[in-house]
Structure 1
């Protein structure tokens, strides 16, 4: 993000010769034109006391003359009288992170706080670079959702700038999350109650050595006297579709799962895609359940059984935790956990034998 923006011509007076690309006009240009320091120009635009009316008018007149347009976001971030929040999310294609962001904006909007956005990748390789970039933007606190970094790296980064982790508990870092083990237990018990015995789980890669949804699924299956069947896929619909095809391609009907619990709604859509490609009907031949209860899950043509972790509420809690950390930097670390809710829909039904 740049501190200034605008256009400057190649000749004096702000005119750009024909065919030339306009260059950026900076605060330094305004300062030279007005005969003042750059810091005085910055103070004038931020509205901070200390600049006479005559000098401020001269600065603004110089800016108009050369076509300078201030970057409002950079100006806000430059002012230490105004809070700013960096929001980092793993993937724009997964709307659960957008729901978290909406909750954050509800709280920041009430305070008039600037929010700077950073986006990662589903393989996690951009996490550290993205967080570091947000920290260099001078955001006062970072709210990060869907982080794939190891716990130790997140803790290290939180020592550089206050950080709140959303949807994932990180020891030593302010965290806001849903009880993933409770949610996975709910959906697995739902499938068992429908009569399914061959239930597979499409799991996410381990994060920090922990897979709470996969662990809860396996524990619930064993408690019912059944053998868990898990396959790890990536976080994308395409990777989930490929993994589901391998699960569902068994030539023996007695070996094929009658239900698949996917680690989130995006991967559940991948399972549905694979089932249709293989000619399987949902839920008559295969029940499918997801997690996150995204907007797509509730669409009538999909009607996906899912677990609602109330992502918007998580966002509001995260923003409140972020501002609480700014107000009390030395306060004990807070870990908030809220309980999820199962949302049964038409994608799950009794298995073919029961029907």
Structure 2
């Protein structure tokens, strides 16, 4: 990253334009390399419908800034790359793939933070965020990432209620937070939202995924204690903190294994602060459009039953990657380019 200022706002957007983002890097470079005439960008434009006839997309309806409509007739090739939710929703609202599992089999990287208090200034908010990760050998299905935010954003996830939350925020600069990411099962799906004309993601974490998260917490708690943490706590509905020694904590523990007590606090997704990131799936890639393991796009990223319609984004993932899928999506795009005509 060129000329990074170390402001620590990475997670919520760099106001200084130093990230290698689509806005600051990828799109400008694409126009510079191939020319603005060949690579046109329509800002604030939403594709709201794909018209089809005889197995081809023959019309693209675009809503520009909510004020005017642009209709593109008889496109040679259409590549849908709007992400797991929006790509699935566009196909669904256009009536494409009615006999395909469009919008089904979504998965995520489900996450929740574990906090550690060290009793001395750490200033975890400074500098690059999510700059380190830990993958435990022999433990599949989850990964750890360093994670911290400016005070207001961090307060949204800080464990505790009322006075306890206030006291914990007073120790903000003496804490670290590590995000636990679990690659979920593909049990979510897209449906029409009740109150708005848009998509709704229907999802409930499975027992397997919650169990993995709790196992990851127990291991991570031991890691934080070994690093010198005086107290660790998760964002559970029933607040409980753990410390390996006698000290000013809201609960005591005799050994790190007592973090297994978290299983008594978490019985469902209502008992723990959970977030989902990196949505994937909905238009899974595969070798068959029907039967067990049915997919939406074939091995050439073409939607089954259509001659000129392709999908290439995270929605083609059949399962969750567990880690940030950005490089995976870019690799898929590079691979798919040879098949798109």
TM-score range, shorter chain: under 0.3
Could you tell me the TM-score, scaled by structure 1's length?
0.24
Greater relative CO, 1 or 2 (CA 8 Å, sep 6+): 2
Between Structure 1 and Structure 2, whose CA radius of gyration is higher?
Answer: 1
More strand by share: 2
TM-score normalized with structure 2 length: 0.25
